[in-house]
Chains A and B, each alone.
Chain A
Protein backbone atom coordinates (compact mmCIF):
# COMPACT_ATOMS: atom_id res chain seq x y z
CA UNK A 1 0.00 0.00 0.00
CA UNK A 2 1.37 3.40 -0.94
CA UNK A 3 1.83 6.03 1.75
CA UNK A 4 -0.70 8.81 2.11
CA UNK A 5 0.27 12.16 0.60
CA UNK A 6 -1.42 14.71 2.82
CA UNK A 7 -0.68 17.59 0.46
CA UNK A 8 -3.01 16.09 -2.17
CA UNK A 9 -5.59 15.29 0.52
CA UNK A 10 -5.39 18.94 1.57
CA UNK A 11 -5.93 20.18 -1.99
CA UNK A 12 -9.15 18.16 -2.35
CA UNK A 13 -10.32 19.08 1.16
CA UNK A 14 -9.52 22.75 0.51
CA UNK A 15 -11.59 22.78 -2.66
CA UNK A 16 -14.57 21.14 -0.96
CA UNK A 17 -14.42 23.58 1.94
CA UNK A 18 -13.95 26.65 -0.24
CA UNK A 19 -16.84 25.56 -2.48
CA UNK A 20 -19.11 25.56 0.59
CA UNK A 21 -17.80 28.89 1.79
CA UNK A 22 -18.20 30.41 -1.61
CA UNK A 23 -21.76 29.26 -2.22
CA UNK A 24 -22.58 30.45 1.31
CA UNK A 25 -23.53 26.98 2.47
CA UNK A 26 -21.53 27.38 5.69
CA UNK A 27 -23.07 30.79 6.33
CA UNK A 28 -26.62 29.60 5.66
CA UNK A 29 -26.36 26.45 7.80
CA UNK A 30 -24.60 28.34 10.59
CA UNK A 31 -27.36 30.98 10.56
CA UNK A 32 -30.06 28.26 10.65
CA UNK A 33 -28.38 26.67 13.68
CA UNK A 34 -28.09 30.01 15.49
CA UNK A 35 -31.66 31.08 14.85
CA UNK A 36 -33.20 27.70 15.68
CA UNK A 37 -31.05 27.35 18.80
CA UNK A 38 -32.10 30.75 20.13
CA UNK A 39 -35.77 30.27 19.27
CA UNK A 40 -35.88 26.81 20.88
CA UNK A 41 -33.92 27.96 23.93
CA UNK A 42 -36.31 30.86 24.46
CA UNK A 43 -39.64 29.29 23.49
CA UNK A 44 -38.82 25.69 24.45
CA UNK A 45 -41.11 25.77 27.49
CA UNK A 46 -43.99 27.61 25.81
CA UNK A 47 -46.15 24.47 26.01
CA UNK A 48 -45.83 24.66 29.78
CA UNK A 49 -47.02 28.25 29.64
CA UNK A 50 -43.68 29.96 30.11
CA UNK A 51 -41.12 31.57 27.83
CA UNK A 52 -37.56 32.70 28.45
CA UNK A 53 -34.13 31.18 28.99
CA UNK A 54 -34.05 28.40 31.59
CA UNK A 55 -31.27 26.30 33.09
CA UNK A 56 -28.48 25.04 30.83
CA UNK A 57 -29.66 21.42 31.41
CA UNK A 58 -33.13 22.08 30.10
CA UNK A 59 -31.86 24.32 27.32
CA UNK A 60 -29.47 21.63 26.08
CA UNK A 61 -32.23 19.01 26.32
CA UNK A 62 -34.37 21.19 24.04
CA UNK A 63 -31.48 21.71 21.63
CA UNK A 64 -30.75 17.98 21.54
CA UNK A 65 -34.11 17.40 19.88
CA UNK A 66 -33.33 20.06 17.30
CA UNK A 67 -29.85 18.70 16.57
CA UNK A 68 -31.04 15.10 16.25
CA UNK A 69 -33.44 16.08 13.48
CA UNK A 70 -31.44 18.77 11.75
CA UNK A 71 -27.75 17.81 11.84
CA UNK A 72 -28.08 14.27 10.37
CA UNK A 73 -30.29 15.60 7.59
CA UNK A 74 -27.85 18.38 6.72
CA UNK A 75 -24.87 16.01 6.88
CA UNK A 76 -26.56 13.47 4.60
CA UNK A 77 -27.52 16.16 2.09
CA UNK A 78 -23.99 17.53 2.21
CA UNK A 79 -22.26 14.26 1.47
CA UNK A 80 -24.55 12.07 -0.62
CA UNK A 81 -23.23 13.23 -4.02
CA UNK A 82 -19.60 13.75 -3.05
CA UNK A 83 -18.39 10.81 -5.15
CA UNK A 84 -21.38 9.75 -7.23
CA UNK A 85 -21.83 13.38 -8.32
CA UNK A 86 -18.26 13.52 -9.62
CA UNK A 87 -18.78 10.19 -11.33
CA UNK A 88 -22.04 11.26 -12.95
CA UNK A 89 -20.66 14.61 -14.14
CA UNK A 90 -17.59 12.87 -15.54
CA UNK A 91 -15.04 14.77 -13.48
CA UNK A 92 -14.02 11.73 -11.40
CA UNK A 93 -12.04 10.27 -14.28
CA UNK A 94 -9.96 13.42 -14.64
CA UNK A 95 -9.39 13.63 -10.87
CA UNK A 96 -8.22 10.02 -10.72
CA UNK A 97 -5.80 10.60 -13.60
CA UNK A 98 -3.95 13.02 -11.30
CA UNK A 99 -1.19 11.81 -8.96
CA UNK A 100 -3.65 11.03 -6.18
CA UNK A 101 -4.87 7.70 -4.86
CA UNK A 102 -8.53 6.84 -4.51
CA UNK A 103 -8.18 6.78 -0.73
CA UNK A 104 -6.61 10.24 -0.70
CA UNK A 105 -9.43 11.56 -2.87
CA UNK A 106 -12.06 10.03 -0.59
CA UNK A 107 -10.32 11.28 2.55
CA UNK A 108 -9.93 14.76 1.08
CA UNK A 109 -13.60 14.88 0.16
CA UNK A 110 -14.65 13.76 3.63
CA UNK A 111 -12.31 16.12 5.46
CA UNK A 112 -13.32 19.14 3.36
CA UNK A 113 -17.03 18.47 3.89
CA UNK A 114 -16.40 17.68 7.57
CA UNK A 115 -14.65 21.03 7.97
CA UNK A 116 -17.56 22.85 6.35
CA UNK A 117 -20.08 21.04 8.56
CA UNK A 118 -17.90 21.49 11.64
CA UNK A 119 -17.41 25.22 11.08
CA UNK A 120 -21.13 25.74 10.45
CA UNK A 121 -22.04 23.75 13.60
CA UNK A 122 -19.47 25.37 15.89
CA UNK A 123 -20.12 28.88 14.56
CA UNK A 124 -23.91 28.46 14.50
CA UNK A 125 -24.35 26.94 17.95
CA UNK A 126 -21.32 28.83 19.27
CA UNK A 127 -22.89 32.20 18.44
CA UNK A 128 -26.13 31.10 20.07
CA UNK A 129 -24.06 29.83 23.00
CA UNK A 130 -22.44 33.22 23.56
CA UNK A 131 -25.90 34.75 23.98
CA UNK A 132 -27.14 31.84 26.13
CA UNK A 133 -24.13 31.91 28.44
CA UNK A 134 -24.59 35.65 28.82
CA UNK A 135 -28.11 34.82 30.07
CA UNK A 136 -27.37 31.61 31.99
CA UNK A 137 -23.94 32.34 33.44
CA UNK A 138 -20.42 31.13 32.70
CA UNK A 139 -20.99 27.85 34.58
CA UNK A 140 -22.83 26.61 31.52
CA UNK A 141 -19.79 26.91 29.26
CA UNK A 142 -18.47 23.42 29.89
CA UNK A 143 -21.78 21.69 29.28
CA UNK A 144 -22.55 23.75 26.24
CA UNK A 145 -19.10 23.11 24.74
CA UNK A 146 -19.66 19.37 25.25
CA UNK A 147 -22.98 19.69 23.49
CA UNK A 148 -21.35 21.40 20.48
CA UNK A 149 -18.55 18.82 20.28
CA UNK A 150 -21.05 15.96 20.36
CA UNK A 151 -23.18 17.72 17.71
CA UNK A 152 -20.10 17.91 15.46
CA UNK A 153 -19.41 14.20 16.05
CA UNK A 154 -23.03 13.38 15.22
CA UNK A 155 -22.73 15.35 12.00
CA UNK A 156 -19.48 13.58 11.07
CA UNK A 157 -21.06 10.15 11.68
CA UNK A 158 -23.89 10.92 9.27
CA UNK A 159 -21.52 12.58 6.82
CA UNK A 160 -19.43 9.42 6.84
CA UNK A 161 -22.56 7.40 6.05
CA UNK A 162 -23.42 9.83 3.26
CA UNK A 163 -19.96 9.45 1.70
CA UNK A 164 -20.33 5.67 1.92
CA UNK A 165 -23.70 5.89 0.16
CA UNK A 166 -22.12 8.14 -2.45
CA UNK A 167 -19.48 5.51 -3.20
CA UNK A 168 -21.95 2.62 -3.30
CA UNK A 169 -24.78 4.28 -5.26
CA UNK A 170 -25.00 3.93 -9.02
CA UNK A 171 -26.38 7.42 -9.56
CA UNK A 172 -27.22 10.59 -7.66
CA UNK A 173 -30.94 9.89 -7.61
CA UNK A 174 -30.48 6.58 -5.85
CA UNK A 175 -27.89 8.09 -3.51
CA UNK A 176 -30.32 10.81 -2.45
CA UNK A 177 -33.06 8.21 -1.91
CA UNK A 178 -30.82 6.05 0.27
CA UNK A 179 -29.62 9.11 2.20
CA UNK A 180 -33.18 10.15 3.01
CA UNK A 181 -34.03 6.55 3.93
CA UNK A 182 -31.10 6.49 6.36
CA UNK A 183 -32.38 9.66 7.98
CA UNK A 184 -35.85 8.14 8.37
CA UNK A 185 -34.47 4.93 9.83
CA UNK A 186 -31.97 6.42 12.28
CA UNK A 187 -33.83 9.56 13.30
CA UNK A 188 -37.49 8.60 13.12
CA UNK A 189 -38.02 4.84 13.02
CA UNK A 190 -35.18 3.25 14.99
CA UNK A 191 -36.34 4.40 18.42
CA UNK A 192 -39.92 3.42 17.64
CA UNK A 193 -38.76 -0.09 16.77
CA UNK A 194 -36.75 -0.30 19.99
CA UNK A 195 -39.74 0.90 21.94
CA UNK A 196 -41.89 -1.73 20.27
CA UNK A 197 -39.38 -4.44 21.16
CA UNK A 198 -39.30 -3.16 24.71
CA UNK A 199 -43.08 -3.30 25.02
CA UNK A 200 -43.44 -6.68 23.30
CA UNK A 201 -40.71 -8.22 25.44
CA UNK A 202 -42.37 -6.74 28.51
CA UNK A 203 -39.14 -5.16 29.57
CA UNK A 204 -37.07 -8.36 29.60
CA UNK A 205 -34.32 -6.83 27.47
CA UNK A 206 -34.31 -3.55 29.27
CA UNK A 207 -31.02 -3.86 31.10
CA UNK A 208 -29.00 -6.06 28.78
CA UNK A 209 -29.98 -5.95 25.17
CA UNK A 210 -31.69 -2.61 24.87
CA UNK A 211 -28.80 -0.29 25.88
CA UNK A 212 -26.48 -2.00 23.40
CA UNK A 213 -29.03 -1.47 20.64
CA UNK A 214 -28.99 2.23 21.44
CA UNK A 215 -25.27 2.29 20.66
CA UNK A 216 -26.07 1.08 17.14
CA UNK A 217 -27.62 4.43 16.35
CA UNK A 218 -25.39 7.54 16.40
CA UNK A 219 -28.44 9.72 17.00
CA UNK A 220 -29.15 7.80 20.21
CA UNK A 221 -25.51 7.99 21.25
CA UNK A 222 -25.69 11.75 20.82
CA UNK A 223 -28.87 11.90 22.88
CA UNK A 224 -27.38 9.81 25.68
CA UNK A 225 -24.14 11.81 25.66
CA UNK A 226 -26.05 15.00 26.23
CA UNK A 227 -28.70 13.99 28.69
CA UNK A 228 -26.98 11.53 31.00
CA UNK A 229 -24.98 14.19 32.72
CA UNK A 230 -28.09 16.01 33.84
CA UNK A 231 -30.32 14.53 36.51
CA UNK A 232 -33.30 16.73 35.57
CA UNK A 233 -33.11 15.83 31.94
CA UNK A 234 -32.61 12.14 32.60
CA UNK A 235 -35.84 12.19 34.55
CA UNK A 236 -37.64 13.99 31.73
CA UNK A 237 -36.52 11.38 29.19
CA UNK A 238 -37.12 8.46 31.57
CA UNK A 239 -33.86 6.88 30.49
CA UNK A 240 -32.48 6.28 33.96
CA UNK A 241 -34.59 3.13 34.22
CA UNK A 242 -33.37 1.51 31.01
CA UNK A 243 -29.81 2.66 30.53
CA UNK A 244 -27.16 1.24 32.89
CA UNK A 245 -24.54 3.61 34.28
CA UNK A 246 -21.72 1.40 32.95
CA UNK A 247 -22.75 2.14 29.37
CA UNK A 248 -23.20 5.83 30.10
CA UNK A 249 -19.46 6.40 30.29
CA UNK A 250 -18.72 9.42 28.05
CA UNK A 251 -15.53 7.78 26.78
CA UNK A 252 -17.42 4.66 25.75
CA UNK A 253 -20.11 6.73 24.09
CA UNK A 254 -17.48 8.93 22.42
CA UNK A 255 -15.68 5.84 21.15
CA UNK A 256 -18.94 4.46 19.79
CA UNK A 257 -19.47 7.74 17.95
CA UNK A 258 -15.93 7.62 16.54
CA UNK A 259 -16.67 4.06 15.39
CA UNK A 260 -19.71 5.43 13.55
CA UNK A 261 -17.46 7.93 11.80
CA UNK A 262 -14.72 5.46 10.87
CA UNK A 263 -16.76 2.36 9.98
CA UNK A 264 -18.74 3.83 7.04
CA UNK A 265 -15.57 5.54 5.80
CA UNK A 266 -13.81 2.16 5.96
CA UNK A 267 -16.56 0.54 3.89
CA UNK A 268 -16.43 3.46 1.43
CA UNK A 269 -12.64 3.12 1.09
CA UNK A 270 -12.88 -0.62 0.52
CA UNK A 271 -15.55 -0.25 -2.14
CA UNK A 272 -13.99 2.77 -3.83
CA UNK A 273 -10.72 0.91 -4.36
Chain B
Protein backbone atom coordinates (compact mmCIF):
# COMPACT_ATOMS: atom_id res chain seq x y z
CA UNK B 1 0.00 0.00 0.00
CA UNK B 2 1.71 3.18 -1.14
CA UNK B 3 -0.10 5.68 1.10
CA UNK B 4 0.29 3.68 4.30
CA UNK B 5 0.83 5.83 7.36
CA UNK B 6 1.75 2.74 9.38
CA UNK B 7 3.79 0.06 7.68
CA UNK B 8 4.57 -3.12 9.63
CA UNK B 9 6.55 -5.83 7.92
CA UNK B 10 7.52 -9.23 9.26
CA UNK B 11 7.49 -8.14 12.89
CA UNK B 12 8.24 -10.65 15.62
CA UNK B 13 8.60 -10.06 19.34
CA UNK B 14 9.92 -12.91 21.44
CA UNK B 15 10.48 -13.14 25.15
CA UNK B 16 12.59 -16.27 25.41
CA UNK B 17 10.38 -19.04 24.11
CA UNK B 18 7.23 -16.92 24.22
CA UNK B 19 6.20 -15.37 20.91
CA UNK B 20 4.22 -12.29 21.89
CA UNK B 21 4.02 -11.10 18.28
CA UNK B 22 4.66 -13.67 15.62
CA UNK B 23 5.18 -12.44 12.09
CA UNK B 24 2.81 -9.52 11.71
CA UNK B 25 2.45 -7.68 8.40
CA UNK B 26 0.04 -4.77 8.51
CA UNK B 27 -0.52 -1.48 6.76
CA UNK B 28 -2.82 1.27 8.02
CA UNK B 29 -3.82 3.98 5.58
CA UNK B 30 -3.89 7.67 6.51
CA UNK B 31 -7.34 8.76 7.66
CA UNK B 32 -8.43 5.24 8.56
CA UNK B 33 -10.02 4.20 11.85
CA UNK B 34 -8.44 0.83 12.48
CA UNK B 35 -9.45 -1.63 15.19
CA UNK B 36 -7.24 -4.24 16.76
CA UNK B 37 -9.17 -6.96 18.54
CA UNK B 38 -8.25 -10.20 20.21
CA UNK B 39 -8.23 -12.13 23.47
CA UNK B 40 -6.21 -10.94 26.43
CA UNK B 41 -2.61 -11.86 25.69
CA UNK B 42 -3.21 -12.01 21.93
CA UNK B 43 -0.38 -9.51 21.36
CA UNK B 44 -2.37 -6.31 20.78
CA UNK B 45 -0.71 -4.20 23.45
CA UNK B 46 2.76 -5.52 22.56
CA UNK B 47 2.15 -4.55 18.94
CA UNK B 48 0.91 -1.14 20.12
CA UNK B 49 4.06 -0.58 22.12
CA UNK B 50 6.24 -1.60 19.21
CA UNK B 51 4.38 0.80 16.91
CA UNK B 52 5.16 3.58 19.38
CA UNK B 53 8.80 2.59 19.56
CA UNK B 54 8.47 1.70 23.24
CA UNK B 55 9.52 -1.89 22.62
CA UNK B 56 12.06 -3.06 20.04
CA UNK B 57 10.94 -5.73 17.60
CA UNK B 58 12.99 -8.92 17.72
CA UNK B 59 12.91 -8.97 13.92
CA UNK B 60 11.06 -7.02 11.27
CA UNK B 61 10.50 -3.33 10.64
CA UNK B 62 7.88 -0.77 11.62
CA UNK B 63 7.66 2.59 9.88
CA UNK B 64 5.27 5.40 10.71
CA UNK B 65 5.10 8.36 8.37
CA UNK B 66 8.08 6.87 6.57
CA UNK B 67 10.27 6.89 9.69
CA UNK B 68 11.54 3.77 11.48
CA UNK B 69 9.97 3.84 14.94
CA UNK B 70 13.28 3.13 16.66
CA UNK B 71 15.21 5.60 14.51
CA UNK B 72 16.45 9.06 15.48
CA UNK B 73 13.99 10.72 13.09
CA UNK B 74 10.99 9.27 14.91
CA UNK B 75 11.09 12.01 17.55
CA UNK B 76 9.51 14.47 15.10
CA UNK B 77 6.85 11.92 14.11
CA UNK B 78 6.07 11.43 17.81
CA UNK B 79 5.03 15.09 18.05
CA UNK B 80 2.11 14.24 15.78
CA UNK B 81 1.11 11.08 17.66
CA UNK B 82 -1.32 10.87 20.55
CA UNK B 83 -1.31 7.81 22.81
CA UNK B 84 -3.74 6.63 25.44
CA UNK B 85 -2.30 3.54 27.18
CA UNK B 86 -4.44 0.73 28.49
CA UNK B 87 -3.13 1.09 32.04
CA UNK B 88 -3.19 4.83 32.37
CA UNK B 89 -1.11 6.23 35.23
CA UNK B 90 -1.12 9.96 35.84
CA UNK B 91 0.44 12.09 38.56
CA UNK B 92 -1.85 12.23 41.58
CA UNK B 93 -0.20 15.35 42.98
CA UNK B 94 -1.00 17.45 39.90
CA UNK B 95 -4.35 18.95 38.99
CA UNK B 96 -6.01 18.08 35.69
CA UNK B 97 -4.88 21.35 34.17
CA UNK B 98 -1.31 20.97 35.45
CA UNK B 99 -1.20 17.45 34.03
CA UNK B 100 -2.19 18.69 30.59
CA UNK B 101 0.26 21.58 30.78
CA UNK B 102 3.09 19.18 31.66
CA UNK B 103 2.37 16.95 28.67
CA UNK B 104 1.84 19.97 26.41
CA UNK B 105 5.28 21.30 27.34
CA UNK B 106 6.80 17.89 26.66
CA UNK B 107 5.19 17.88 23.23
CA UNK B 108 6.32 21.45 22.61
CA UNK B 109 2.76 22.76 22.37
CA UNK B 110 1.37 26.07 23.58
CA UNK B 111 -0.16 25.45 27.02
CA UNK B 112 -2.82 28.10 26.36
CA UNK B 113 -5.00 25.47 24.69
CA UNK B 114 -5.10 23.19 27.73
CA UNK B 115 -8.24 24.61 29.42
CA UNK B 116 -10.19 24.24 26.17
CA UNK B 117 -8.99 20.66 25.82
CA UNK B 118 -10.17 19.89 29.34
CA UNK B 119 -13.55 21.39 28.49
CA UNK B 120 -13.70 19.24 25.35
CA UNK B 121 -13.49 16.05 27.42
CA UNK B 122 -15.90 17.35 30.04
CA UNK B 123 -13.41 18.13 32.79
CA UNK B 124 -13.60 21.93 32.86
CA UNK B 125 -15.16 21.93 36.32
CA UNK B 126 -12.42 19.65 37.67
CA UNK B 127 -9.52 21.51 36.04
CA UNK B 128 -7.99 22.63 39.34
CA UNK B 129 -8.82 19.47 41.27
CA UNK B 130 -5.94 17.13 42.04
CA UNK B 131 -5.93 13.94 39.95
CA UNK B 132 -5.80 12.06 43.28
CA UNK B 133 -9.50 12.89 43.68
CA UNK B 134 -10.52 11.90 40.13
CA UNK B 135 -12.72 8.88 39.46
CA UNK B 136 -11.53 6.22 37.01
CA UNK B 137 -13.72 7.72 34.31
CA UNK B 138 -12.32 11.21 34.91
CA UNK B 139 -8.78 9.88 34.71
CA UNK B 140 -9.63 8.20 31.42
CA UNK B 141 -11.06 11.47 30.09
CA UNK B 142 -7.90 13.29 31.18
CA UNK B 143 -5.79 10.62 29.51
CA UNK B 144 -7.78 11.09 26.33
CA UNK B 145 -7.28 14.86 26.57
CA UNK B 146 -3.50 14.45 26.78
CA UNK B 147 -3.61 12.14 23.75
CA UNK B 148 -5.47 14.84 21.80
CA UNK B 149 -2.98 17.60 22.67
CA UNK B 150 -1.37 19.23 19.67
CA UNK B 151 -3.93 18.02 17.12
CA UNK B 152 -2.22 14.68 16.41
CA UNK B 153 -2.59 13.14 12.96
CA UNK B 154 -2.27 9.65 14.40
CA UNK B 155 -3.90 8.37 17.58
CA UNK B 156 -3.20 5.11 19.38
CA UNK B 157 -6.00 4.35 21.81
CA UNK B 158 -5.64 1.20 23.89
CA UNK B 159 -9.01 0.30 25.44
CA UNK B 160 -10.09 3.97 25.34
CA UNK B 161 -13.52 3.51 26.93
CA UNK B 162 -12.19 1.67 30.00
CA UNK B 163 -13.92 3.07 33.06
CA UNK B 164 -16.17 5.49 31.15
CA UNK B 165 -19.87 5.67 31.94
CA UNK B 166 -22.41 5.41 29.06
CA UNK B 167 -22.44 9.19 28.60
CA UNK B 168 -18.64 9.24 28.59
CA UNK B 169 -18.55 6.48 25.98
CA UNK B 170 -21.00 8.40 23.81
CA UNK B 171 -18.96 11.60 24.13
CA UNK B 172 -15.76 9.71 23.36
CA UNK B 173 -17.17 8.32 20.12
CA UNK B 174 -18.54 11.75 19.22
CA UNK B 175 -15.00 13.14 19.46
CA UNK B 176 -13.74 10.15 17.49
CA UNK B 177 -16.23 10.97 14.72
CA UNK B 178 -14.95 14.55 14.62
CA UNK B 179 -11.37 13.31 14.41
CA UNK B 180 -12.27 10.95 11.59
CA UNK B 181 -13.91 13.82 9.72
CA UNK B 182 -10.69 15.79 10.09
CA UNK B 183 -8.72 12.92 8.57
CA UNK B 184 -6.99 11.79 11.76
CA UNK B 185 -5.79 8.19 11.63
CA UNK B 186 -6.91 6.20 14.66
CA UNK B 187 -5.73 2.79 15.80
CA UNK B 188 -7.76 1.48 18.71
CA UNK B 189 -8.29 -1.66 20.68
CA UNK B 190 -11.38 -2.57 22.63
CA UNK B 191 -12.70 -5.71 24.19
CA UNK B 192 -16.24 -4.34 23.87
CA UNK B 193 -16.67 -5.43 20.28
CA UNK B 194 -20.23 -4.16 19.95
CA UNK B 195 -18.88 -0.68 20.58
CA UNK B 196 -16.35 -0.60 17.80
CA UNK B 197 -18.07 -2.60 15.07
CA UNK B 198 -19.88 0.47 13.71
CA UNK B 199 -16.91 2.75 14.23
CA UNK B 200 -13.92 1.18 12.52
CA UNK B 201 -13.13 1.17 8.82
CA UNK B 202 -11.08 -2.00 9.09
CA UNK B 203 -9.95 -4.27 11.83
CA UNK B 204 -7.44 -6.97 12.52
CA UNK B 205 -8.19 -9.94 14.72
CA UNK B 206 -5.12 -11.06 16.63
CA UNK B 207 -4.59 -14.46 18.15
CA UNK B 208 -1.40 -15.90 19.63
CA UNK B 209 0.62 -12.99 18.31
CA UNK B 210 -0.60 -13.37 14.74
CA UNK B 211 -3.16 -11.53 12.65
CA UNK B 212 -5.79 -14.14 12.10
CA UNK B 213 -8.19 -12.02 10.06
CA UNK B 214 -7.99 -8.60 8.46
CA UNK B 215 -10.59 -6.54 6.69
CA UNK B 216 -13.79 -4.56 7.09
CA UNK B 217 -16.39 -5.87 9.52
CA UNK B 218 -18.59 -6.74 6.55
CA UNK B 219 -15.84 -8.60 4.69
CA UNK B 220 -15.05 -10.61 7.81
CA UNK B 221 -18.73 -11.47 8.22
CA UNK B 222 -18.90 -12.64 4.64
CA UNK B 223 -15.67 -14.59 4.95
CA UNK B 224 -17.10 -16.36 8.00
CA UNK B 225 -20.42 -16.92 6.23
CA UNK B 226 -22.24 -16.66 9.54
CA UNK B 227 -25.99 -17.03 9.48
CA UNK B 228 -28.22 -13.97 9.65
CA UNK B 229 -30.94 -13.61 12.21
CA UNK B 230 -34.48 -12.56 11.23
CA UNK B 231 -37.16 -11.47 13.65
CA UNK B 232 -40.63 -11.79 12.16
CA UNK B 233 -43.65 -10.35 13.95
CA UNK B 234 -46.98 -11.81 12.86
CA UNK B 235 -50.18 -9.84 12.80
CA UNK B 236 -52.31 -12.96 12.62
CA UNK B 237 -51.94 -16.16 14.51
CA UNK B 238 -53.38 -19.58 13.89
CA UNK B 239 -53.70 -20.98 10.40
CA UNK B 240 -53.28 -17.64 8.59
CA UNK B 241 -50.28 -16.64 10.64
CA UNK B 242 -48.10 -19.12 12.52
CA UNK B 243 -49.11 -22.12 10.47
CA UNK B 244 -48.55 -20.28 7.19
CA UNK B 245 -45.13 -19.14 8.38
CA UNK B 246 -44.15 -22.71 9.33
CA UNK B 247 -45.06 -23.83 5.82
CA UNK B 248 -42.97 -21.05 4.25
CA UNK B 249 -39.97 -21.96 6.40
CA UNK B 250 -40.37 -25.64 5.61
CA UNK B 251 -40.53 -24.72 1.94
CA UNK B 252 -37.19 -22.89 2.29
CA UNK B 253 -35.68 -25.84 4.14
CA UNK B 254 -35.26 -23.83 7.35
CA UNK B 255 -35.52 -25.78 10.57
CA UNK B 256 -33.56 -23.49 12.88
CA UNK B 257 -36.21 -21.14 14.26
CA UNK B 258 -38.28 -20.38 17.34
CA UNK B 259 -41.88 -19.32 17.13
CA UNK B 260 -44.01 -18.27 20.06
CA UNK B 261 -46.65 -15.63 20.78
CA UNK B 262 -46.65 -14.48 17.19
CA UNK B 263 -42.92 -13.70 17.06
CA UNK B 264 -40.46 -15.86 15.12
CA UNK B 265 -36.67 -15.83 15.40
CA UNK B 266 -35.15 -17.41 12.33
CA UNK B 267 -31.55 -18.24 11.46
CA UNK B 268 -30.81 -18.27 7.75
CA UNK B 269 -27.72 -18.34 5.56
CA UNK B 270 -26.57 -15.15 3.86
CA UNK B 271 -27.10 -16.81 0.48
CA UNK B 272 -30.67 -17.78 1.34
CA UNK B 273 -31.69 -14.37 2.71
CA UNK B 274 -33.31 -12.93 -0.42
CA UNK B 275 -35.19 -16.15 -1.22
CA UNK B 276 -36.56 -16.26 2.33
CA UNK B 277 -37.61 -12.60 2.24
CA UNK B 278 -39.35 -13.21 -1.08
CA UNK B 279 -41.20 -16.19 0.36
CA UNK B 280 -42.17 -14.24 3.48
CA UNK B 281 -43.58 -11.44 1.38
CA UNK B 282 -46.07 -14.01 0.10
CA UNK B 283 -47.67 -14.00 3.53
CA UNK B 284 -48.77 -10.45 2.85
CA UNK B 285 -50.74 -8.75 5.61
CA UNK B 286 -50.16 -11.64 8.03
CA UNK B 287 -46.72 -10.15 8.75
CA UNK B 288 -46.55 -6.99 10.85
CA UNK B 289 -42.75 -6.50 10.78
CA UNK B 290 -39.46 -8.09 9.70
CA UNK B 291 -36.06 -7.22 11.17
CA UNK B 292 -32.81 -8.57 9.70
CA UNK B 293 -29.87 -8.78 12.07
CA UNK B 294 -26.33 -9.12 10.74
CA UNK B 295 -24.03 -11.22 12.91
CA UNK B 296 -22.30 -9.01 15.45
CA UNK B 297 -18.57 -8.47 15.54
CA UNK B 298 -18.60 -10.66 18.61
CA UNK B 299 -20.12 -13.48 16.53
CA UNK B 300 -17.45 -12.93 13.88
CA UNK B 301 -14.73 -12.91 16.54
CA UNK B 302 -16.06 -16.08 18.14
CA UNK B 303 -16.44 -17.65 14.70
CA UNK B 304 -12.73 -17.16 14.04
CA UNK B 305 -11.61 -18.27 17.46
CA UNK B 306 -13.88 -21.35 17.45
CA UNK B 307 -12.24 -22.48 14.22
CA UNK B 308 -8.98 -22.93 16.03
CA UNK B 309 -10.33 -24.73 19.07
Residues on A close to B: CB < 8 A? Answer: 1-2, 5, 7-8, 11-12, 15, 19, 22-23, 89-91, 93-101
Contact = CB atoms under 8 A, between A and B. Distances in A.
Given A97-B83, A98-B103, A99-B108, A89 B89 contact: yes
B78 interface: yes
B28 interface: no
A2 B53 CA distance: 15
Given A7-B108, A98-B107, A91 B54 contact: no
Given A1-B72, A19-B93, A94-B88, A99 B102 contact: no
A257 to B, nearest CB: 32
A243 B76 CA distance: 54
B111 to A, nearest CB: 11
17 contacts: A1-B72, A7-B108, A19-B93, A90-B85, A93-B85, A94-B85, A94-B88, A95-B106, A96-B54, A97-B78, A97-B81, A97-B85, A98-B78, A98-B103, A99-B78, A99-B107, A100-B106
Nearest to B45: A93
Contact of B52 (A11, A15, A97): A97
A195 B91 CA distance: 47
A5 B108 CA distance: 11
B117 to A, nearest CB: 16
B83 to A, nearest CB: 4
Given A94-B83, A97-B83, A11 B88 contact: no
B8 to A, nearest CB: 17
Contact of B102 (A2, A15, A93, A96): A15
Pick the 10 closest A-B CB pairs, nearest first: A90-B89, A2-B72, A99-B78, A91-B89, A97-B83, A98-B106, A11-B105, A89-B89, A90-B87, A99-B79
A94 B87 CA distance: 10
Given A97-B54, A98-B78, A91 B106 contact: no
Interface of B: 49, 52, 54, 72, 75-76, 78-79, 81, 83, 85, 87-91, 93, 102-103, 105-108, 146
Contact of A91 (B76, B79, B90): B90
Interface SS of A by simple majority: helix
Contacts of B75: 2, 5, 99-101
Given A90-B88, A94-B85, A97-B78, 16 more contacts: A2-B72, A8-B106, A12-B106, A19-B93, A90-B87, A93-B49, A93-B54, A93-B87, A94-B88, A94-B146, A95-B106, A99-B75, A99-B76, A99-B79, A99-B106, A99-B108
Nearest to B80: A99
Contacts of B106: 8, 11-12, 95, 98-100
Contacts of A22: 93
A25 to B, nearest CB: 12
B87 to A, nearest CB: 5
A19 to B, nearest CB: 6
A55 to B, nearest CB: 45
Nearest to B87: A90
For B76, B103, B105, the residue with the greatest tally of chain A CB atoms inside 10 Å of its CB is: B105
Contacts of A100: 75, 106
B78 A94 contact: no
A12 to B, nearest CB: 8
A91 B72 contact: no
Contacts of B79: 99
Nearest to A86: B89
For A8, A95, A99, A100, the residue with the greatest tally of chain B CB atoms inside 10 Å of its CB is: A99
Nearest to A5: B75
A4 to B, nearest CB: 11
Contacts of A93: 49, 54, 85, 87
B100 to A, nearest CB: 13
A22 B103 CA distance: 19
A97 B72 CA distance: 14
A11 B83 contact: no
Contacts of B76: 99
Contacts of B102: 11, 15
A89 to B, nearest CB: 5
Given A11-B105, A11-B106, A97-B83, A91 B78 contact: no
A1 B103 CA distance: 24
